[in-house]
Every structure is written in C-alpha cells, then in structure tokens.
Amino acid sequence: MTVVSEVLNRKGHNVASILPSESIRAAARTLTDRRIGALVVCDRRGRLAGILSERDIVRAVAMHGADALDMPVEDLMTRQVKTCRPEDTIKDLMQMMTLRRHRHVPVCNEAGDLAGVISIGDAVKARLDEQAHEVAVLKDLALVR
C-alpha cells in the first residue's frame, strides 16, 4: 500500500508558503504564478500556522468585494489545520480528505516540521497507479495458470 512519503518522494517536498501578515493579493498572485490551489501559511520560524485556499479567497471576495485583496492572510486562513504523517497510507489520507472535504493536506514529521503537501490530485494519482499495478500483477498471475 502506498504511503504519503512515497508520493512526496515522487512529486518533491517543495512547499509553497506565505507569511500570515502578507496580503491576500500577494497570496492570489502566488497561487496563480505557481498554478496551485492552496498555500501553507508559516510563521517567521517556518512553523505551520494555517492554510489558505483559492476557495477561501473567492469566499472573501464574495463577502467583502475587492477590499478582501488588501486583507492579511491571517484573517482568512484556516488555523485548525488537519495534517498527516509521512507513514500514513494514501488510502487513509483519501478517506480523511473526503470526510473533511479537504483538497490539500500538509505533511508533518514527528517533530512537527513541514515535510510537504499532498493534494487530492496527488492522492488520486497514487491510488490509480497502485490499482494499475495490482491489475498488472493479477494479469500476470492469470497467465501463469
């Protein structure tokens, strides 16, 4: 069964992050430039402080108009961030993501250090790869008999 660390090793451990004091405009620019759906919010020491998604920004603009773009990230970010560990299985992670309706989950090691981010797309791809491998093994077994 595929674990989170395997997915991170394939996709990389690079994490797009932003400071809580930066503007929503800066966050939107980073999301657009990097073609991603969420930013991890880290304090000045690099510790996880929250997460900000495209949906958070859309919701704020719908409520506050263009003024939302000048708000600090800390006003919109989700502070109670559900994380996973490198040894968690992708299957378990997908269940959690589905139940909690999360599209991006930060990965933290035992020390609480940020090790990466897994998106729902990363998780789906890993499960599809896993299932394709299982099908290939079953076909090989069927040919042997």
60 touches 39 (CB < 8 A): no
> In which band, very low, low, confident or very high, does the pLDDT at 1 lie, cut at 50, 70 and 90?
confident
Which residue type occupies 121? G
Q: Is pLDDT at 141 greater than 80 in this prediction?
A: no
Distance in angstroms (rounded) separating the CA atoms of residues 81 and 99: 14
Residue with tokens 């451990």: 13
More confident residue, 51 or 134: 51
pLDDT number for residue 129: 84
Residues 6+ apart with CB under 8 A from 11: 116, 122
26 touches 52 (CB < 8 A): no
pLDDT number for residue 53: 97
Bridge partner list, 89 = 3
Q: How many domains does the chain have?
A: 1
Say which CATH number the domain at 138 has. Answer: 3.10.580.10
Q: Is pLDDT at 46 greater than 70 in this prediction?
A: yes
Query: How do residues 58-81 score in pLDDT, each as one tens digit?
Result: 999 999 999 999 999 999 999 999
62 touches 76 (CB < 8 A): no
**Structural domain of 98:** 4-144
- The whole model's pTM is what? 0.86
Residues 6+ apart with CB under 8 A from 75: none
Q: Is pLDDT at 18 greater than 80 in this prediction?
A: yes
Measured CA to CA in angstroms, residue 134 lies from 117, 121, 142 at distances of 26, 20, 12
